Structure 1
Amino acid sequence: MAEASPRTDTSTDDTDDKNQRFERGQSTAISAPDSSDKSKEKTGDQKTLRRLAQNREAARKSRLRKKAYVQQLESSRLKLTQLEQELQRARQQGIFISSSGDQTHSMSGNGALAFDAEYSRWLEEQNRHISELRAAVNSHAGDTELRTIVDNVVAHFNEVYRLKGTAAKADVFHILSGMWKTPAERCFMWIGGFRSSELLKLLVNQLEPLTEQQLMGIYNLQQSSQQAEDALSQGMEALQQSLAETLANGNPGSSGSSGNVANYMGQMAMAMGKLGTLEGFLRQADNLRQQTLEQMHRILTTRQSARALLAINDYFSRLRALSSLWLARPQE
């Protein structure tokens, strides 16, 4: 029994050692997955951090682009204000002089600058008339009141044609080139203005419902306007060809003889005579636009005419806004 007791202690110690080794193995086995999970979590956190950093960088660049865009818009607005002030000073200095009575205008100095100033004034008046018309339509004003406002808007449209006619006598090329309009408007210009037939196409869908008689009337008006436009376009092409032939038929002889000088002067006189017809083409095109607007007014009811005038104004306002946005776009 004395010998058995130490053996029992040794067996017990061996058992304890085995249990401790088993527990350490379990602990190691358990800690291994924990380490793997932590590694995965760490990798996921790094990806999240990178993604957040990329998002912050993209947001920062977007804010910078937006800030630059707003600054360019503000710069464009300041330049426009400065130009308007310069035009106003030019008027005050007598470059554009208004006479009393029928309020006809005489031009001296820079005719193009004078017309641009008057056109700017006309646009301001146009916006005031359109605001009044829009308020009357939205408030469902009576037919009599609405008819008076519509007539005022139509009369104001006629005013710009009178201004153009006067300006064309001083500088017809300025009016024909459309330099007094925004770039987007110039893309659709035809002989110093818009095509009536194209405008009618845009209006039909916005004036529904229309009676069958009204639809037929607008269709016939659109067809007749297009035919007149085609005739004027052909006339302009013929004039350009004739003018080019006149300038190309010069005598390339020696440049000092009196005969060549006489030929040159005669050639220039013929060319000047042909250029004189440009004013006539512009006047005919503006007359066509006036007549189309007046006939459309007769075909439609008063409220339909009001909606048509608002649609026309909105169309050209959007073209001007498009030009401003295009000029102020970020340059990358």
Structure 2
Amino acid sequence: MASKPVNLKVHSRGKKIPKLPGETSIYLQGSASDLYQRIATQASFSTHRLRITKAEDGKPIPNDKSVSIASTGLKDGDAIQVKDLGPQIAWRTVFIIEYAGPLLIHPLFYFLRPYIYKNASAEPSTLQALSCLTITLHFLKRELETLFVHRFSNATMPALNIFKNSAHYWLLSGLLIAYFIYSPTSLTAGSGNLALTYTALALYAIGELGNLNAHLVLRSLRSPGGTERGVPKGLGFDLVTCPNYMFETVAWLGILMITRSWSTGVFVAVAVAQMAAWAKKKENRYRKELGGKYPKKRFAMIPGVW
């Protein structure tokens, strides 16, 4: 026999939601995701724009199918607060827009060199050709992974954040790197050391393939549309928490050795610092959510370093 539903008082928090109901009801065995869907339907609002918290202590109620209403501590007669998060954009769309920047900018600088720089030769150097090829392939791979590999924990993010997120890729890995490495005065305009170039290409290939493998492993742990986490195993996962970041660093080390530019170094330093912070957070999240099933790693991203 189904249990009796609990009745909840509903209040707006911040910006008023015009059609927000004053109360709603839901079964304790129902999921928190069901509560979001019910309120969104009643208010004729997108569920992704809502954030629900308990009025008593401000504790957030996650939009999660695996979280039951009973486990949130809500009882009959309790009040919840509903906040409008503003216009949202899908994470998949965010990534596509971010990576499109360098994916477009590098070929443009490469092919328009004679029109951008004074005294630029019609034919780019081998290193400049390799720079354009490796960077373009890197971001093309990211676009394809976004479309066909990645599964996202959160469906959306605030739409205005797209500008901040895109700046990292469009400005740093796009314009900053491109402007300097395709210049006739850059080190890439020369012939370079052949052994160093082959070493760089080897690091790039290892990094890209290792990164792809890590992403495929992580994809296999989550069902379509699910948010569950499993224990990742395989190449690199026995060494660090996030081998995807480790291999990403290896790939960009290879690109840095090919481009031989301080501008690439700036992007790599910023990117590695950000990935290091994400890796630490992921290590903590794994231990919190998976408990004893997850073997704690000594290093989050780079063996012996971090």
TM-score bucket (shorter structure): under 0.3
Calculate the TM-score normalised by the size of structure 1.
0.23
Calculate the TM-score normalised by the size of structure 2.
0.25
For the pair shown, which has the larger CA radius of gyration, 1 or 2?
A: 1
- Give the structure with the larger helix fraction: 1
- Give the structure with the larger strand fraction: 2
Between the two structures, name the one with larger relative contact order (CA 8 Å, sep ≥ 6): 1
